[in-house]
Chains A and B, each alone.
Chain A
Amino acid sequence: MPKDHGIGASPKRREDVRFLTGDGRYTDDINIAGQAHVYFLRSDVAHGRIRSVDTSEAAEMPGVVRIFTGEDFAAIGGLPCGWCVTDREGNPMQEPKHPVLAHEKVRHVGDPICAVVADTLSQARDAAEAIVVDIEELPAVIDMKKAVQEGATKVHDDLTSNLCYDWGFVEDNRAAVDEAIKSAHHVTTLELVNNRLVANPMEPRVAVGQWEKGTGDYTLYTTSQNPHVIRLLMGAFVLGIPEHKLRVVAPDVGGGFGTKIFHYAEEAFCTWAAKECRRPVKWTASRSEAFMSDAHGRDHVTKIELAMDADGMFTALRTETYANMGAYLSTFAPSVPTWLHGTLMAGNYKTPLIYVNVKAVFTNTVPVDAYRGAGRPEATYQLERVIDKAARETGRDPIELRRQNFITEFPYATPVAVEYDTGDYHATMDKLIEIADIKGFEKRRAASAEKGMLRGLGVNCYIEACGIAPSNLVGQLGARAGLYESATVRVNATGGLVVMTGSHSHGQGHETSFPQVVADMIGIPEDMVEIVHGDTANTPMGMGTYGSRSLAVGGSAMVRATEKIIAKAKKIAAHIMEASDQDIELKDGQFTVAGTDKSLAWGDVTLAAYVPHNYPLKDMEPGLEETAFYDPNNFTYPSGAYCCEVEVDPDTGRVTVERFAAADDFGNIVNPMIVDGQVHGGIAQGIGQALLESCIYDENGQLTSASYMDYAMPRADNMPMFTVDHSCQTPCTHNPLGVKGCGEAGAIGSPPAVVNAVVDALQRAGKDVTHIDMPLSPARVWAAMQ
């Protein structure tokens, strides 16, 4: 019997009622009396020197409040970068200035040059069209390998080159890896591109800045995954506003996928301009602006080499990656191709020697930062593609080759610095073979052939490091922030609870799943628990939601705070029932004295906490409210095995995904339905990357896929029904819930399965195709077949 409440049950998502009936309250729904609107005039050239900006005519136009340029921000801080990567020589990365409005130079199409504040958005746009900007165009730096050649045009004049850093990991292994590859029985080499993506959350970014003249308090309403992080970065590093004078609110947020982690220029502008203009200032991105100002994802060019012995055991792995940073360093950009990527190159396998080299490069493109999976999809894709190629080259079964190299003993310290606590890769592979009905593939292939279609099957494994992360570890790796999480549990007098979490929900369903945990611990109905998130004014300082961390880290903080609540409540109950608190048991919302028939209801005790007439006032304060900060001692390591079956139309190259199965190990599960949904969404994004999505710049730095007319988003009819299973559970050993995180798995695990399946289909048809770069559009697949 499935559970009907508490941990392991699947109550419907309570927040969906308001989302589906139009009652959500998003940032764009916030309108403050007297607000003005800002329109950003953005560069239409990729690279150029600003000769002059003439706003004189525009300033006289109807409704215009003020027009700001980069000059206005020259004395104000730029946008900070939250992670410093150290290069192979031990030197810090090159870190360019990132002005709020472009100053002296524009560095990508979409770089904001002027901000026009007017009574209405239409007036602001009209005025922006009257601004005369004179730009001396410079050659655009687009191709990463050309960008780092001697004499290349520099994106930032004050840096020594376009190389942000040249990172080696583990540098001490370099010679041994080189030697192992040189002397290997077999080496499989693959060069591939991990395509640049635009996150495209359904809700574009929005910011509303407000300044109260009477108190000097600032408020920023913004579409963020982590309002406290924005408050710290913007307050301390950009605008110089202390936290107690700055409130950041991220209300309902319509999807983030990583791109709403970062601190953006528009947020700083609206907050600052609210005081300058003495009016609230609002900005809502158009979809076109989102394409050219939201941080993009992926964009790696990689060469990977896998060495094997005669028995098919992996002996060494070496990779060289060029990672695009774009024109500026977005908040966490440097960490993505390094610590979130290199540390995962062991995958599920006991390869003893690994060396990862990453060259991060500045180009005249939109900044690139974390996008669902962030570094781990890039690692998984190259590793699982090269293993598939190696299996084909050596005539081995791709599943068996993986199996013989699986890590089977835990904890396992990889040669790339992380220690996996638990996992059972054979179990997820066994489960996958069952749910994907791999045995039935030949029959399905024959049926496809009858229709003239080429059918292929692709399998891959993945591992990811989630629940980011131990603060002391990430601090050593260059993070400039802690990565704990927080929760305050406030019990009201009549027994209801409010959990104020530092995590943020923008689609993950925290308002449903978090109460399941707390209600289960106390033994009360879930509707007695409310989740509050997204407002720095009423939540404890927390680091927000990304990296599949909310339940593993934020949920653990909530458990710790609830444990404190229960401990105190037991003492109150013991006092009232005249027993020792050691003898008090809490079950189903009832406190009992062990071995007696004495009992007290949860509500009686909570009332006593606030009406302390019969209360141990000498020993304890009244009230029932506790806060916990939780900092894990390791990442969590979800893993799994995925299988994709495709049909390829030999006449057109069109690929359709016919079946997709995912067997995941997420440790313990709180709400299986929400986990299913997270995996579904992740797989959809992964299939989107594999088959459809492609962000393309031409050689002049023009973004040619700048709208949905050319940027192909995945749609429901691109997907088969997914078969997902998460019954293989090896609970995390170091957090109190034993959970691992599930938000990114689908996006990490699915692209290699799709590409492996297409290559399989073509090879079975006798085509000499070993690799096609994503997205596997009909035109690309057809060209590969010719």
Chain B
Amino acid sequence: MYAFEMERPTTVDEAVAALKDEDAQALGGGQTLIPTLKARLAMPGKLVSLTGIDAIKGISKDDAGRLCIGGGTVHRAIAEQGDFPGLAGLAARIGDPAVRNRGTIGGSVANNDPSACYPAALLATGATIVTDRREIAADDFFQGMFTTALEEGEIVTEVKLPIPEKSNYQKFAQPASRFPLVGVFVAKGADGVGVGVTGASEGGVFRWREAEEALSGNFSADALGDLAASADGLIGDMHGSAAYRAHLIKVLTGRAVSAAA
């Protein structure tokens, strides 16, 4: 780890101001950034910890019935909420207890690791990402591996998810990291069905629109029929070929539909 300055603001405004410095980097729960620093793979001059900002922690519902989760809320709290069981199930299987007690949804969403779990749920539900300066639809937010619509120094303060009638997340763990080799979040809402796929694509998280269409008419695994996810652009590595990942997308989508509650 290289030497760095550390600030721990208590308001979003202070944090935004602190992040204006060149080489400043926001630090959420640190479950990705700290290992990166320890491996000397990043050299920020200043870390701005967001963990002291109480205003971005906690879970509530807004007037539209959406689940509103502060960006600084840890996975464990999301796993323990009862309003959105599909999301609780997703959060309960991120990492291990130590990770879930430290890692935050804002950090995960802002990092957009191609194998992160939350982005699949955000896409499938049509969530909105709230920052210190604007609101961004999930479809516009996730722009590729580790790439988002966030500007320099922009902080994810809240995530608003419409609560679906039924939902489920199926994670097929990569044997070593236990990140999803493929993860599929299926959400059945009033306006249709969303299918978010993570872990599989070189382009990061994406929606499997053909499946959404098929399932919107008939929300059952059978509706997937002969539909096959394309292997084009999918990741092929020591843990599985692109064809294998494509196959898993279909299997997991079917399982998520069957298990959706």
Contact = CB atoms under 8 A, between A and B. Distances in A.
Contacts of B251: 651-652
A714 to B, nearest CB: 10
A694 B177 CA distance: 13
A782 B247 contact: yes
A709 B175 CA distance: 9
A779 B177 contact: no
Contacts of A779: 239-241, 244
B6 to A, nearest CB: 16
Given A651-B251, A779-B244, A783-B244, A710 B172 contact: no
Given A288-B39, A652-B251, A709 B177 contact: yes
A650 to B, nearest CB: 10
Majority SS at the chain A contact face: loop
A149 interface: no
A709 B176 contact: yes
B176 to A, nearest CB: 4
B24 interface: no
Interface in A125-150: 125
B39 A694 contact: no
Nearest to B250: A651
A775 B251 CA distance: 23
Contacts of A654: 172
Contact of A705 (B1, B40, B238, B240): B238
Majority SS at the chain B contact face: loop
B248 interface: yes
A671 interface: no
Interface in B235-261: 238-241, 244, 247-248, 251
Given A709-B177, A782-B247, A125 B238 contact: no
Contact of A712 (B1, B39, B175, B248): B175
Interface size class of A (residues with CB under 8 A): 20 to 34
B244 A782 contact: yes
A696 B239 CA distance: 11
Interface residues of B, number: 16
Contacts, number: 44
Interface string B164-199: 000000001001110001000000000000000000
Interface in A748-786: 775, 777-779, 782-783
B17 to A, nearest CB: 30
A692 interface: yes
B244 A692 contact: no
A711 interface: yes
Contacts of B244: 779, 782-783
Contacts of B238: 694, 696, 704-705, 710
Contacts of B181: 778
Contacts of A711: 176
Contacts of A122: 1
Contacts of B177: 708-710
A656 to B, nearest CB: 12
Q: Which of B39, B175, B176, B248 has the most CB of A within 10 A?
A: B175
Contacts of B172: 652, 654, 778
Contacts of A694: 238
Nearest to B255: A651
B240 A778 contact: yes
A777 B248 contact: no
Q: Which of B176, B239, B247 has the most CB of A within 10 A?
A: B176
B221 to A, nearest CB: 11
Contacts of A782: 244, 247
A249 to B, nearest CB: 29
Given A704-B238, A779-B241, 9 more contacts: A691-B175, A708-B177, A710-B239, A712-B175, A712-B176, A778-B181, A779-B244, A782-B244, A782-B247
16 contacts: A288-B39, A651-B251, A654-B172, A704-B238, A708-B176, A708-B177, A709-B176, A709-B177, A710-B176, A710-B177, A775-B175, A778-B172, A778-B240, A779-B239, A782-B244, A783-B244
Interface of A: 122, 125, 288, 651-652, 654, 691-692, 694, 696, 704-705, 708-713, 775, 777-779, 782-783
The 9 closest A-B pairs by CB, nearest first: A779-B240, A712-B176, A712-B175, A709-B177, A651-B251, A779-B244, A710-B176, A692-B175, A696-B238
